[in-house]
Structure 1
C-alpha cells in the first residue's frame, strides 16, 4: 500500500477502539514486514531469479508453494479493489458535500476504478503521482507533529509496545455494537495486514524491482542469467563466483535495496504509530470510532483544533493517499500475478516481455469486475477487506519468511548468505506473522474463540 492509506483509517480506528494498548501490533507489523520484503529483494538482487521460480522447486508436488502464494494473492485482489474504491468513493462524497451512503460511495468508487485504471493505460499519472507523494508526505509529517505535540504518556506508549490482546472499551459495546461483534483478534490482525501491504504487493514489488536495475540486472546478459537460474535442479546452488572481489561486489549491490526498504518501512512504522497515538488521545477519549460512513470525518478534528478551515489539509491528503493507492494497485497486482505464474507458463513469460497492456487489462477485468460486485454489496469497506488483510497481509507474509529462509539456504553459496542476526529476524518475523494469521483465521471462521 502507498504510504498514507494505513495512517488515515486503520491506525486511528485502532487507537479509537483500544487506546495505546495495541500499538505493538502496528509497530511490530511494520518492522517484520520490512524484514520480509528485504529478504525477497535481497535474493532477487543477488541472483535475478524470480522467487516464485525458486519456490516452485520446494520438495513436494511441483510448484505447490508458489501456487499457494499466488492463489492467496489472487483471492485478496478483488477485496482490496472493492474495499479501497468504496473508501475513496466515501471520502470523495464527503469532501464535495454529497450525502454519504452506500449508493454514493459505490457510485463514485466505480468512477474512480475506471479513472485510475485509465491513467495506468494512458501513462498520464507521473505528475499526479509526484503531487500525491508530496501531499501525503506533508500530511503524514503533520500528523507526526500533532502526535508529538499531544505529549502522549511515555509509560502508556511503552506499555502499548508489549504484545497483548485487550477487550473492547465499554463505550464500544454500547455505541458500536456491530464492531463489538467482531472478534478482537480479527480486528487487530486486520490492522496488521493493512500496514505496509501484503504478499499481493510484495510478489509484484520484487518482480518490478528489475526495472530499477539493481544488482544482477545491471548486467547486459541478465535475461540469460534468469534462464540459467530457472534451469537449476531443486537444491542446486546458484553458480555464483565466490572469490573475494565478487562477494564484495555482490554485497555492495545490496546497499540500494537496504536503503530503500529501511527508509520506506521506518516511515510507514513511524507515521502509523503517530496516527494511532492521535486516535488514542483524541477519538478514544471522546468515544468516537471511524466506522460505517464516518471512516475519515472524525480525524479531521485533529486539524480544525489548530485553526478552523484546516480540515482541507486532511481532506486533500486522504483523497491523495487513497487515489494513489488505487492507481498503484493495477500495476502492482499485474506484476504479482505475472510473477506468480511465470514459472509455469511460457505464455505468461511472453506477456511480461511483450504484452504488458494485455496483462493489465486482464488484471482490470478480474479485480475490477469482482471488486465492483463487492463494492455494490451492502458490506462495509472494513468487512470487504478483512479476509484479504488476514490471508494475504499477515498469514501469507509469515509463510513468505519461511520460504525465503529455504530459498537462501538452498540456492545461495554460503559466501552470499545472510548473517545469523538476519536469519533470526526472518524466523522471528515468520513466527509472529504466521501465528497471528492462524489465530485470526480460526476466529474469523468461528471455529474457536481465544
Structure 2
C-alpha cells in the first residue's frame, strides 16, 4: 500500500523470511480460515435484517431463488480476487490501478470505487439509526432520562430529543464503534465478528424453526413457489437492490483481499520468484485452497442467515401486509418475531423473545457497522496512497491513517441519518450503488486474471467458466436495474 520500504511487521509486505507451509489436512485448514467470517459479519447485517426481510414482506416467497442466486454467484468473483492478492501480493485497489484507461492520480475504477463507498455510507447511516431504534425500544426509561438531562441544559434540544430518542442511542453507537476500532486490529476484528456471526445466525435459524409451531408455518408449497423464477412487478426495484446487497456485495468483494492479506495468506506464500520455483508454486496452491475453503464456508454461513431472514419476512410480514420502514422499522421487525407466538403455548416467552430480538438486532447492525468501517478505512488509506494525496510511512503510519477514518466515517454516517431518518431508503440507495459497481468489479477481475495469468496457480476451467457466468449474470441484473431506475426517474 505504501511506496516506503516496509517494516518487518508490515502486514502488507511479503518478505522471504515470512513464508509458511500451508496446512495439508481439512481440520488444520479450517483452523486457518477467518477473512470470510469477517466478510460474513459485514454481509449478514443491514441488507439482511432490513432489505431482505423487506423484500420477503413485499414479494412473499416468490423471490427465494433470487436470494440464493445472489448469495452463490458472486463468490466466484470473490475467490478470484483473493487468488490474485495471494499470488501477486497486491491489494484490490493496487491491482485495479494497473487497468488501462483514464487516470487522475489513480485508475478510473479506483475513483468509481470511492464514489460507491461514499454512497454506501447511506447503509452505515441506516445501521446507526436502526440500532438507535432497537436500543430505545429496549431501554425507553434510559432514553427519557438522557433526553431530560439534555433538556436541563437546553430545553429546546431536550424537547426535540423527546421525539427523536433514537438519535441519542445512534450517537452512542457511533462512539462505541469508533472506540472499539481504535483499540485493536485484525485479530480483534476476526474474534469479535466470528462470535457475533455465530450468535446471529443461530438465533435467526431458530426463529424460523419456531414458526413451524405457529399459524405462520412454512409449508413445502411455500418453498416451492420460491423457485418458479418469477419476478413480481411490484418488487422489481427492491429485488435488484437486494441483489446488490445480499451475498457478497461490491464493497465486500473489494475488501476481501485486504482481509486475506492481513490474515497472512500472501506473506506465507512469499514474494513471487522471477523464474521457476516449485516451493513457491506449492505454497501458492496450498494457501489458495485455504482461501477457497474460507470463502465457501463463509458463503454457507451467510446464505443460511440470509435465507432465514427472507423466510421470516415472507412468512410473517407478507400475509399481514407489513412493511418495515421509517421510524417504525424496528417495531415492525419485532412483530415479525413476536407475532407468531400469539395464541400458542409459546406466548409466555414473548418477553424473553422481545429482549433476544433487540439484542440480536443490535448485534446484526453493530457488527456490520464495525466491519464495514474497518474495511472502508483501509481501502481509503490505500486509495489516498495510490493517488499520492497521502502516503503514510510504513505499517505504523498506515495504522494511524486508518484510525482517522475509523472516526470520520461513522460520524459522517450519523450526520446522514440525522438528515434523512429513513433506514430502508438509505439501504436501497447503497444497494443500487453497489449493484451498479458489481459488473465493473467482475469484469476487472476477469481482465486481471487473463492478463496476469499464471497457469501453475490459476483456476480450473470449471471455476473460470463459473466466474464468467457470474459476470454475465451480474451485468444483466445491473443493466436492468439501471434501466428501471432511469424509467422511474423519467416517470417522476
TM norm structure 2: 0.76
Tell me which of 375, 378, 402 is aligned to 1:359: 402
Alpha carbons of 1:204 and 1:117: their partners in 2 closer, same or farther (altered >3 Å)?
Answer: same
| Residue 314 (str. 1) matches residue 357 (str. 2) | yes
How far does the alpha carbon of each residue in 1:222-280 deviate from its partner, in whole angstroms, 9 at most, with x for none? 4xx5xxxxxxxxxxxx946375x654442222121111111111121122112212221
Which segment drifts farther, 433-442 or 253-262? 433-442
Q: 1:137 to 1:378 in 2, by over 3 A?
A: closer
Residue 288 of structure 1 aligns with which residue?
322
Query: Are residues 1:189 and 2:240 paired?
Result: yes
Task: Measure the CA separation in 2 of the matches of 1:283 and 1:240.
Answer: 61
The reply on whether 1:423 has 2:464 as its aligned counterpart is yes
Partner of 1:325: 368
Structure 1: gaps of 5 or more residues:
169-183, 226-237
1:136 Cα deviation from its structure 2 partner: 1.5
Picking from 286, 306, 324, the partner of 1:272 is 306
Out of 437, 442, 454, the position equivalent to 1:401 is 442
Contact 2:193 2:367 in 1 (8 A): yes
Within a 5 Å distance, the mapping from 1:17-416 to structure 2 comes to: 17-62=58-103, 63-97=106-140, 103-123=164-184, 132-146=196-210, 152-168=218-234, 184-214=235-265, 216-218=266-268, 222=271, 239=274, 241=276, 246-295=280-329, 296-301=333-338, 304-305=341-342, 306=346, 307-309=349-351, 310-345=353-388, 347-348=390-391, 350=393, 353-365=396-408, 367-392=409-434, 394-416=435-457
1:388-420 C-alpha deviation (Å, 9 max, x unpaired): 21112x221222111111111111222322122
TM-score (norm 1): 0.82
Deviations 1:114-141 (CA, angstroms, capped at 9, x unpaired): 1110111133977865653443233133
**In 2, Cα distance between the equivalents of 1:109 and 1:197?**
26
Cα pair 2:384 2:390 within 8 Å, conserved: no
SS of alignment partner, residue 376 of structure 2: helix
Cα pair distance change 1:332/1:380, threshold 3 Å? same
Indicate if the aligned counterparts of 2:217 and 2:315 stay in contact, CA closer than 8 A. Answer: no
Is the counterpart of residue 10 in structure 1 residue 51 in structure 2?
A: yes
Structure 1 residue 423: deviation in Å?
1.9
- Tell me the C-alpha RMSD between the 2 structures: 3.0
Structure with higher Rg: it is: 2
Shift in alpha-carbon separation, 1:405–1:386, aligned structure 2, 3 A: same
> Is the partner of 2:382 in helix, strand or coil?
helix
Q: Is the 8 A contact 1:78 1:371 kept in 2?
A: yes
How many residues align? The count is 415
Q: Per-residue deviation at 1:85?
A: 0.6
Q: What are the ranges of 5 or more consecutive residues in structure 2 without an aligned counterpart?
A: 1-41, 145-160
Matched, 1:441 2:482: yes
